[in-house]
Amino acid sequence: MKKTCLVILTTVVLTTFSLSAQNEIKDQLNPVFTGVPSLSITPDSRGGGMGDVGAATTPDINSQYWNPAKYAFMESPAGLSMSFTPWLRRLVNDINLSYLAGYWKFDELQSVSASLRYFSLGEIKLYDYQGTEGVTAHPNEMAIDIAYSRLLSEKLSAAVAFRYIRSDMNIPSSESDMIPGNAIAADVAAYYRTPIEVGTGDGTLAFGLNISNIGSKISYGDEESTLFIPTNLRLGGSFEYPFDDYNKISFNADINKLLVPSSQIRRINEDGTLEDENDFIARRDAARNMGPIAGIFKSFGDAPGGFSEELREIMWSLGAEYTYNNQFFVRAGYFNEHKTKGNRKYFSTGVGFKLNVFQLDAAYLISVAQSNPLDGTLRFTLGFDLDGLRNLMN
Rounded-to-10 torsion of CA 163, 164, 169, 174 = 160
The pLDDT value given to residue 128: 56
Q: What's residue 22's pLDDT?
A: 38
**Overall pTM surpassing 0.95 (yes/no):** no
d(CA 246, CA 195): 18
Q: What is the pLDDT of residue 24?
A: 38
Rounded CA separation 301/180 (Å): 32
How far is Cα 165 from Cα 32, in angstroms, rounded to an integer? 20
**What is the dihedral sign for C-alpha 18, 226, 101, 232?**
negative
d(CA 37, CA 310): 20
* CA pair distance 242, 248, nearest whole angstrom: 4
Residue pair 23/29 in contact (Cβ under 8 Å)? The answer is: yes
pLDDT at 11: 46
Distance (Å, rounded) from C-alpha 15 to C-alpha 319? 25
pLDDT of the chain along its 394 residues, tens only? 444 444 444 544 444 544 444 333 446 788 888 999 999 999 999 999 999 999 999 999 999 999 999 999 999 999 999 999 998 877 788 899 999 999 999 999 999 999 999 999 887 766 555 556 666 778 899 999 999 999 999 999 999 999 999 998 766 554 556 688 999 999 999 999 999 988 766 899 999 999 999 999 998 876 667 899 999 999 999 999 998 889 999 999 999 999 999 888 877 777 777 777 788 888 888 888 889 999 999 999 888 888 888 999 999 999 999 999 999 999 999 999 999 998 899 999 999 999 888 999 999 999 987 667 778 889 999 999 987 767 667 6
Closest CA to 3 of 168, 177, 172: 177
For 227-250, give one letter per residue: b (16+ CB within 10 A) or e: bbbbbbbbbbbbbbbbeeeeebeb
- For residues 321 and 331, the answer to whether their CB atoms sit within 8 Å is yes
CA nearest to 388, candidates 77, 107, 61, 62: 77
- How far is residue 35's CA from residue 349's CA, in Å, rounded to a whole number? 29
341: left (phi over 0), alpha (psi -120 to 50) or beta: alpha
Other beta carbons within 10 Å of 152: 14
Q: For position 127, what pLDDT does the model report?
A: 59
Residue type (1 letter), 171: I
- Domains, the chain, ranges and CATH? 2-393 (2.40.160.40)
What is the model's pLDDT at position 173? 57
Query: What does the pLDDT read at residue 21?
Result: 40
- How far is CA 287 from its chain centroid? 23
